[in-house]
Amino acid sequence: MNAPWSRHLVVIATIAVVVAAGCTASPPTSSHLASATPGATLGAQPNPSVVPASSVEVSPSAEPSDVAASDPPVASDPPDTIEGTAGPGCGTGHAGLLAHRDEVAAMLHFGVASIEFRTAMLALRNGTYGADDAIPAGVGLAPNEIAVKVTPGTHILLRGDGVVLTKATVRVVPWGTVSFAGGLGASPATPVDLSIRVRSDGSISVSAPLEVGDYMVEFLPRFHGECLEGDGSAYSRIKIVAP
């Protein structure tokens, strides 16, 4: 919470390049295959070997038009690129990710409250493309944030529309320590982790603080949908009241 959670754009893609040396009077050089980017899954088909044209005997009286030309070698299809495709299915590359971006809703639900959710890492589950954005700490939190009021230790559900939450870090600081500048909330207090349990229905059960008080809550969940997966951040407010 004390400093922005900086993340950097990472583009994962593969473009394999094959360089084949032609025949010369000197011994032929060997061809080299460029290394693929780590983590990428798209491969490129190598070009077929260059085959010398067949030798043809031509009589001195033969005209050039009488000589049958050899068929040139057939080049392979160009390799897939970072742009990818929007389909079928989940698609591939940048185009596939954009085609399914709406799979991740802009809101999460924490108890009865709906809170802003900002994605950081976002990737196609088939591994063909991923990106990582920088998210300022405290984005989406407001000075007049409506609090979820519960009694000490109450289990509160965190869930997302159309996605499965697979993991989360949830932590709190006293609301009174939070200040706002430039639309962002920040606190110098040391966050305290809350206990969570991942449920089979794709939601996460969060155990509220045991002490009565007013708290800011930070959520750092991981998720996946049908085509996408990733992580992000969200913020809310809890008021713990005596039973």
Give a yes or no: residue 23 inside a domain.
Answer: no
The CA distances from residue 163 to 145, 223, 229, in Å, are 25, 6, 9
Task: Note down the domain range covering 130.
Answer: 104-240
Give a yes or no: residue 148 inside a domain.
Answer: yes
Give a yes or no: residue 51 inside a domain.
Answer: no
pTM over 0.75: no
Q: What is the pLDDT at residue 32?
A: 31
Give a yes or no: residue 187 inside a domain.
Answer: yes
The phi and psi torsions of 164 (rounded to 5 degrees) equal -105, 125
Give a yes or no: residue 14 inside a domain.
Answer: no
Give a yes or no: residue 34 inside a domain.
Answer: no
Overall domain count for the chain: 1
Cα dihedral 5, 8, 9, 15 in deg (nearest 10) = -140
Give a yes or no: residue 72 inside a domain.
Answer: no
Amino acid at 160: G
Q: What is the pLDDT at residue 87?
A: 87
Local confidence pLDDT in tens for the 243 residues of the chain: 444 443 433 333 333 333 333 433 343 333 332 333 333 332 333 443 333 343 344 444 444 444 444 454 444 444 445 799 998 999 999 999 999 999 999 999 999 999 999 999 999 999 999 999 889 999 999 999 999 999 999 999 999 999 999 999 999 999 999 999 999 999 999 999 999 999 999 999 999 999 999 999 999 999 999 999 999 999 999 999 999
Give a yes or no: residue 35 inside a domain.
Answer: no
Between CA 241 and CA 243 the distance in angstroms is 6
